[in-house]
Amino acid sequence: MTNNLTQEITRTPPRSAGDDIKEASGVYDQTDISVRPEEFRQRGPAEHREKTFELRNVSVSYGGNRAVHDVSMDIFHKNITALIGPSGCGKSTLLRSLNRMNDLVPSAKVEGSLLYHGADIYGPKVDPVQVRKVIGMVFQKPNPFPKSIYDNVAFGPRTTGIKGDMDDIVEEALRRAGLWDEVKDRLDDNAYGMSGGQQQRLCIARCIAVEPDVILMDEPCSALDPISTARIEDLMLELKERYSIVIVTHNMQQAARVSDMTAFLMVELTADEKSRWGELIEYDDTSKIFTNPGDSRTEDYISGRVG
Amino acid sequence: MATDEKPPRTARTRLAVAGARSSTESVFGARGRGDRLGNRFFLAFLLLGMAMAITGLAAMIIWAIIEGSPRLSMDLITNGPSTLAPETAGYRPAILGSIYVIGGVIALIVPLGVGAAVYLEEFADKTRWWNRLIELNIQNLAGVPSIVFGILGLAFIVRSPLSLGAVPAAGAVTIALLVLPTVIIAAREAIRAVPPSIREGSLALGATQWQTIYRQVLPAAMSGILTGVILAVARAIGEAAPLLLVGAVTFVTSDPSFFGPGFTTLPTQIFDWARRPQEEFQVLAAAGVLIMLALVLVMNSFAVWLRNRFEQKW
Amino acid sequence: MTTAGITVSGGGAGNSPRRSLEAPSPRYGEKTVKVILAACAGLSVLVTTGIVLSLLSGAADFFREVPIHEFLFGTTWAPAFADAHFGVIPIVTGTLNIVFWALVVSIPLGLLSAIYLSEYAPNRVRKTIKPMLEVLEGIPTVAIGLFALMFLRPFLEDVFPFLDWTGPHAIGVAGVAVGLLIVPLVASISDDAMRSVPRGLREGAYALGASKLRVSARVVFPAAISGIVAAIVLAVSRAIGETMVVLMAAGARPQITFDPTKSAQTMTAFIGQTATGEISFGTIAYYTIFAVGALLFVMTLVMNLFAVRLVRRFREVYE
């Protein structure tokens, strides 16, 4: 099984997941930091990497019911971090707590410490609106606004007050999302006329246009066909040159293909099976999780024995 | 609220059992020509019922056309009322009065109705008792008889504390309060129909809640809100009962002003003519009905068309 | 739980935030908007309070002069006469007459239309008739009143010549006209209720070979009963509160009668009649408006609360 997966990974074209896994799994381990400091900080040994998020004993509950319990992990700068696990394990909940989208559910409560570059995301002076400006999000189902393609991209910069020539901002965002050539002649068309894959890339463009530091992606490909999925995966690998990306996915191959780090969460039950919540089982380099997991539950899940 | 917590399962089960029993009966029961004939009769019966309903209401419109059309001329709109010359009397002050009242109604219900709907859908925490109270209160207000609003208008708007007197403004406030619940209910439905994913998408881009509402939710809900407002305005045009209490039935021959005493409106003027026994006045009333019907039916049709046309499929 | 190396804190570069997470401005506008919107919603409570206060204070003045039992159980209503009587029973029976005749018309016509629309009508027909009903729902009541007075009254005399018709006003005619007015309301709420019955329930019955008649009458109708009852309760409430039709077609004579051809006054018609007449502020006749209005308000409020609860029930079961 593990073998199959490695093959699957190495079959993917160059300049994609295969390389990243190689890099992450040790190429830079002994490298002198002075040679390529930037990459060392991103792909080198964990203790030297720059942290975007530091989660310490994070629990999220809805109206008293625990959804995620006691998660501690570091999410690294300009890495793609995948959250995987069976449905109901709270991976989306965890993701949404990173940019305070959980605030929209009145009964949601986040405990523990959740730091973004050392600053508490749930600190008393922190403004959720500003958090979401810095930490963008792409959703499971493409959700373009019922407006023109142009207005979809321009909405964020306009409302957040980003200065500059709007046409340039829109073009730049669409280019980075790999959508410019497809839509440059129909910027005034309604976004609902696009294909699902295009809509999702538009949502990514929309997110980029606000110039975030981090992009959170909540199962961004689950509503898309394989070809659109492949395009978005390629796009993610390009985007990580500039942004830190956290992706929730139920597709293990996807996690293996694109991510540098993988966190495996699982559903835990109380003895009487009355309540359930998600817990972090294992978090490590993607190559390690998929080739040599440290926990038997991870191995069972990855090899398809459970979940 | 105890009844709300009753598990729906029991009702479902009961219905499912009833359905199964009925079907089983029909399988084992006699079936064939008798049953088919019964079906036919039933359908005929249904069609008859609906035909009667529609005929009854259509007869009203046709009657108004037949009865009122002989008096249909520009006199009807440009002339003032007269008890001496009913053949040339018209509705000029009444139409102007109606325009003032409706103008005031629109100016009040659009901001108040949409504002309340936005609050209830986007801001209100449903677990708070005061928000549930507001909700229940609006549902009940929608069912309060219009004449009771007239009493409110008489006691509080014509007299102190507002002390406007029997003026078009008082009529506008009274009617606006009357139709406000229907506007709120329609606007809430339109806002609720905008999927949460639009809000999430906007908030995730760092837009504030109000920016999200103002730039995304409200434009997307616009056609639904507009439909609700038009239906409310159409109702306001035809509403007479509360205006009787705020004094809109005086015999007015001069053009009204918004805060000036002595006004009448189209429906109250029609009522005034209809009370008089002479045939000419009744015809005049029918002609007034014709104007009002045309106005109201066109507005309603437009509103319904608007909703069906722009009903967004998310 | 986690691999040892990963959770080591400290080290690495750049522990300071890239960008501030604090609000660039205090966003006072945002808070102000919320307060304004809440005030808009709160206004409705103020309106209800205003209605209750105006009715109560007026009614209190009335009951200072007239004992409450005389008002509720008296059988003569003559508030404007020199020898004034304030027994509300005659105008209440007038209202009940209206409700009765309105229901006689609107329940069968409304329910038959609803069953046809929800169970039998092809989609195309439904799409034409439903909006048509909605448009007709908005016909001004003054128009219906005039129609009842000038057309329906002579028409019904032609249809039922053996009845004892006298004078231009008849409570039965007004009731029928009110019934026509509320048919669209009954039809559209019952149609919604029947259409919210889950498809599975119908299909289950059809799959076992039940005929359409059986499915409609034995499965859908009973399943939608709370919604249908709600529609009827709302219809009753509308009929109680209807003013213009009654004022124009039922006349202004407060008397206890159950003869549909006779003139009789209702509660609403009394209020309308009194308001258009010459009454002066502060007289007992003026305060009767409030006493009758309070009674009217209580009656319709009970009906509406009941209907709201029923509608919520059928929504909860199926949605």
Cβ–Cβ gap C14/A77 under 8 Å: yes
Q: pLDDT band for C41, please (50, 70, 90 cuts).
A: very high
Domains of chain A: 2-143+212-302 (3.40.50.300)
C24 interfaces chain A, CB cutoff of 8 Å: yes
- Residue linked to tokens 């084992």: B28
Domains of chain C: 77-318 (1.10.3720.10)
- Residue linked to tokens 């008293």: A64
Tokens of B41: 């009769």
Q: Which of A106, A139, A160 sits opposite B200 (nearest CB)?
A: A139
* Rounded (10°) CA dihedral A225, A231, A237, A243: -90
What single letter denotes the amino acid at residue B157?
I
Phi, psi of A13 (to 5 degrees): -60, 165
Tokens of B245: 């209490």
Beta-carbon neighbour count of residue A274 at 10 Å? 7
Tokens of A283: 């978090």
Burial class (CB in 10 A: 0-12, 13-18, 19+), C166: exposed
Q: Residues B229-262: pLDDT tens digits?
A: 999 999 999 999 999 998 876 677 778 888 888 8
Q: Which of C2, C17, C27 sits opposite A280 (nearest CB)?
A: C2
Strand intervals (E) in C158-310: none
Alpha-carbon torsion C118, C121, C124, C125, what sign?
negative
Q: What ipTM describes this predicted complex?
A: 0.87
Q: Which chains touch B (3 or more CB pairs under 8 A)?
A: A, C
- How far is it, in rounded angstroms, from Cα B297 to Cα B62? 13
pLDDT for res C285: 83
Write down how long chain B is. 314
CA distances from B167 to B256, B260, B265 (A): 9, 6, 11
A68 interfaces chain B, CB cutoff of 8 Å: no
Tokens of C211: 């005929």
* Whether pLDDT at A2 is above 80: no
Q: Which of B125, B197, B206 sits opposite A160 (nearest CB)?
A: B206
Q: pLDDT band for A205, please (50, 70, 90 cuts).
A: very high
Instruction: Determine which of A98, A126, A158, A159 to mutate to test the interface with B (most B C-beta atoms within 10 Å).
Output: A159
Using the 8-state DSSP alphabet, how is residue A78 labeled? Answer: T
User: Of all residues in chain A, what percent carry a pLDDT higher than 90?
Assistant: 59
Enumerate residue ranges in chain B where pLDDT < 50: 1-8
* Chain A residues with CB-CB distance to B197 below 8 A: 139, 141, 143
Q: What is the mean pLDDT of residues C254-260?
A: 88
Cβ–Cβ gap B134/C276 under 8 Å: no
Contact B149, C51 (CB under 8 A): yes
* Whether pLDDT at C3 is above 70: no
Contact B62, B274 (CB under 8 A): no
Domain with CATH 1.10.3720.10 in chain B: 74-310
B197 interfaces chain A, CB cutoff of 8 Å: yes
Q: Which residue of B has its CA nearest to C176?
A: B56
Q: Residues C168-226: pLDDT tens digits?
A: 899 999 999 999 999 999 999 999 889 888 888 888 888 887 788 888 888 888 888 88
User: Of all residues in chain C, what percent carry a pLDDT higher than 90?
Assistant: 46
* Whether pLDDT at A127 is above 50: yes
Residue C138's contacts (CB-CB under 8 Å, 6 or more residues apart) are B231, B234, B235, B238, B296, B297, B299, B300
* Whether pLDDT at C296 is above 50: yes
A46 interfaces chain C, CB cutoff of 8 Å: yes
Q: Residues C234-251: pLDDT tens digits?
A: 999 999 999 999 999 998
Burial class (CB in 10 A: 0-12, 13-18, 19+), A87: exposed
> What is the least distance, in Å, from the CA of A131 to any CA of chain C?
5
Residues 2-31 (A) with a CB less than 8 A from some CB of C:
none
pLDDT for res B266: 92
| Of A240, A220, A245, A243, the residue nearest A230 (C-alpha) | A220
Cβ–Cβ gap A132/B220 under 8 Å: no
* Chain C residues with CB-CB distance to B241 below 8 A: 141, 243-244, 247, 268, 272
Q: Residues A61-105: pLDDT tens digits?
A: 988 888 999 999 999 998 999 999 988 888 999 999 999 998 888
**Mean pLDDT for chain C?**
86
B127 interfaces chain A, CB cutoff of 8 Å: yes
C25 interfaces chain A, CB cutoff of 8 Å: no
Contact C133, C187 (CB under 8 A): yes
pLDDT for res B33: 62
Contact C20, A123 (CB under 8 A): no
Q: Which of B200, B201, B206 sits opposite A129 (nearest CB)?
A: B206
Phi, psi of A55 (to 5 degrees): -105, 130
Task: Assign domain B74-310 to a CATH class.
Answer: mainly alpha
> What is the least distance, in Å, from the CA of A33 to any CA of chain B?
36
Cβ–Cβ gap C15/A72 under 8 Å: no
Cβ–Cβ gap C14/A126 under 8 Å: no
- How far is it, in rounded angstroms, from Cα C157 to Cα A71? 83
Beta-carbon neighbour count of residue A244 at 10 Å? 25
- How far is it, in rounded angstroms, from Cα A16 to Cα A33? 23
pLDDT for res A36: 57
* Whether pLDDT at A257 is above 50: yes
What single letter denotes the amino acid at residue B42?
F
Q: Which of C6, C17, C18 sits opposite A46 (nearest CB)?
A: C6
> What is the least distance, in Å, from the CA of C84 to any CA of chain B?
22
pLDDT for res A11: 39
Cβ–Cβ gap C183/B57 under 8 Å: yes
- How far is it, in rounded angstroms, from Cα C214 to Cα C212? 5
Q: pLDDT band for C127, please (50, 70, 90 cuts).
A: confident
> What is the least distance, in Å, from the CA of A8 to any CA of chain B?
34
pLDDT for res B29: 56
* Whether pLDDT at C42 is above 50: yes
H or E stretch covering A81: strand A80-84
Tokens of B56: 């009854």
